[in-house]
């Protein structure tokens, strides 16, 4: 499986795309601090140190990090979780 990591206009957000469908349907999924999701992958991402919130739609998940966190440390952890789920 391959995860494509892309910068967004927001320097605190990165888009993680896959060839596989992660979320079916036309609804997007957002998880904010203190919330949980029916999708365990989103809950696992929210548990990562430095993640502020997550947003998912079909083939991608966007991670918003806290301002004091570096992407160099966070990206490999996000990729590991996405790969763990087979995407």
**Residue 29 near residue 56, CB atoms below 8 Å:** yes
Cα 11 from Cα 21, distance rounded (Å) = 26
For residue 52, what is the domain's CATH number?
3.30.1370.70
Q: Among 47, 56, 52, which residue's Cα sits nearest to residue 69?
A: 52
Provide the domain count of the chain: 1
Region of 34 (left: φ > 0; alpha: ψ -120 to 50; beta: rest) is left
Domain that holds residue 49: 3-84
Q: What are the pLDDT digits (tens) for 13-51?
A: 999 999 999 999 999 999 999 999 999 999 999 999 999
Q: What are the pLDDT digits (tens) for 44-65?
A: 999 999 999 999 999 999 999 9
Q: Among 61, 79, 77, which residue's Cα sits nearest to residue 69?
A: 77
């Amino acid at each position: 499986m391959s995860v494509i990591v892309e910068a967004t206009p927001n320097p605190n957000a990165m888009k993680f795309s896959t060839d596989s469908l992660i979320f079916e349907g036309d609804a997007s999924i957002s998880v904010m601090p203190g919330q949980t999701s029916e999708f365990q992958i989103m809950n696992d991402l929210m548990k990562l140190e430095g993640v502020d919130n997550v947003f998912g739609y079909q083939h991608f998940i966007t991670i918003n990090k806290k301002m004091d966190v570096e992407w160099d440390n966070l990206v490999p952890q996000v990729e590991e979780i996405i790969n763990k789920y087979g995407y």
